[in-house]
Amino acid sequence: MDAPFHAKSGHQGTAMALAPLVHTLYSRIMRHDPADPKWPNRDRFILSAGHASILQYTLLWLNGYGLEIDDLRAFRQLGSMTPGHPEVGHTVGIEVTTGPLGQGFANAVGMAIAEEHLRATLGREVIDHHVFVIAGDGCLMEGVSHEAASLAGHLGLERLVCVFDDNKITIDGATDLTCSDDVAGRFRSYGWNVIEAGPISEDCDALESALNHAKATKGSPTLIVLPTRIGFPSPDFTDKHAAHGNPFVAEHISRTKALLNLPDEPFHAPHDLLSAYRAHAAARCGPERESWVASGAPQQLIGHTTSGLAVRLAPYLPRFESHETPATRVAIQKVLAAATDVLPCLLAGAADLTGNTGAKLSPDRMFSRADRAGRQIYFGVREHAMGAVANGIALHGNLVPVVGTFFVFADYMRPAIRLAALSKAKVVFVFSHDSVGVGEDGPTHQPVEHLATLRVIPGLQVIRPADANETAQAMLAALDHDGPTALVLSRQNLPIVSDGRAVTRGAGVVSDSPSPLVVLVGTGSEVSLCVAASKELVSAGIATRVVSMPCQSTFLAQDAAFRESVLPSGIPVVAVEAGSTYGWSVIADRVIGIDEFGASAPGAVALEHFGLSVSNVVRVATELSSLR
């Protein structure tokens, strides 16, 4: 109550109701050691209902994870270690970034997949833990939770335990305003074990029993349906939706503290209680963690390190010759085939589009109930969940997921892509069928604005390779990047026009003329279009340079001298890309692109219709060069 009051912002009601549960988890159930917050064999805890962050911060403070009482006083303030929602990498002890409801639940499914796979491949003496997640009504209303729960039940992820905070309250009011789901029945239909715990939310012994029952369950994940009373024991706000997001005023806090026999002073924290709590936390699992280290288990994880991956893969990358014309979606599959044995930390999967996207390891050994060592995940038609599950796999540690779908369906994954960037989760998102070149499927399946919208996400590396060689180098760039990467790949075959080196610094010259009069800049399939146009321009006496720019952000981050060497000042630039022209004005004088939705027609016809043709590029470049 004190921290939201002090911040004049926050959600104390859910935190109050769940305090006994989370106390029980941290002090009696979970395997964790504050002396080594990144212990690979720790149990994972995810607060999917991230608005209740003050609850987790309080437990991290009590357990000795580095937070002190002043950090709680600084709740939700600029630069504090206790931001409004939990952020991984910002506060020690936070496993994933939560807030957008349902995402944390799906992250937990990903972490459970990671645990199963690592336990199967490395042995129980190395990895053998559980994943606990708390989800509220909002989490389970969001569509991503339906997809993720269905996948978890199908896979029988028995190390996953979700506690459903069944307080029947959302911001607008009671849940019966909007929802009449039978949550227990729904999860049973997914194949989950369901424990309907009853009114035990204030009984730590009963909570411990239910959680241990869930841990002992075999063959399925467990949902504990826990009825709680939001805001309890406030005499003013118990069971009221106003307890959700409105900080109590001083009188409300005073009356509640009186019921709890607590001193009426802010941030009351008895030193002896804090010392005892931290001593208990250190003693409970510290010896087990030390024994794990002494057993040599960390050495078993070395092969699954996620650092230095590009250097390890580089000698094994396939090279593509000038006579080859693979689509870049085909090229990525060849790259992943080469990486399969070299990088055991890779998992791959797609949303019912494995062959179409190339997000496939070789051999195609399926991760399933029967084979946890399999590395190919079949996500089904569940793009929402796939993105968030991939984040969970990456943030678990020791694994790098590569997941694929059609580029237009990046829209279904956007919350997870954004959170991947915010979390610096090393996920490789493979998006194929990258333009109106998709063809007859028409505008519903033809991405137009998607490149522009992904490029504006801070920290997301967006690479659209020109050919197979750039695709191979793009995979190295993805493995090197501190965060997620979107590889945007073609459906159609593309000629080899480069050696791939443009990827390293975001752009590079792929064909040139002495003293060029115009520069054509392309990405993806439009680079070969620019090369073809340049030949006609040179024949007409217009010296032309062609630049491939697979990654705008990488190029723009280079020093001025390099940028000048690629795009010399005073030479007009025409950018050519089969997508929105948004964002190109900082690079080009003219842009040939598509600022409307697509059309149902064969791919080549659609591209021609929208001006992505040699004749149109030659026309625009000729006009621009004549103005010089």
Q: Which long-range contacts (CB under 8 A, 24 or more apart) does 170-179 make?
A: 170/137, 170/138, 170/141, 170/241, 170/244, 171/241, 171/244, 171/245, 172/241, 173/241, 174/241, 175/137, 178/141, 179/137, 179/141
Helices 53-63 and 12-24 cross at an angle (nearest 10°) of 40
Q: Are the beta carbons of 20 and 31 closer than 8 angstroms?
A: no
Say if CB 192 and CB 152 are below 8 A apart.
Answer: yes
Tokens 């349906």 sit on residue: 225
Active-site annotation holder among 95, 115, 147, 383: 383
Q: Which residues pair with 196 in a beta bridge?
A: 225
Phi, psi of 45, deg, nearest 5: -120, 130
Torsion of CA 583, 587, 590, 596, to 10 degrees: -20
Told to judge if 383 belongs to the known catalytic residues of this protein, a careful annotator would answer: yes
Q: In whole angstroms, what separates CA 191 from the centre of its chain?
A: 26
Q: Extract the tokens encoding 410.
A: 């990046």
Site of tokens 């580095």: 66
Q: How far apart are CA 359 and CA 403, in angstroms?
A: 6
**Three-state SS across 23-54?**
HHHHHHHCCCCCCCCCCCCCCEEEECCHHHHH
Task: Kindly list the catalytic residues.
Answer: 383
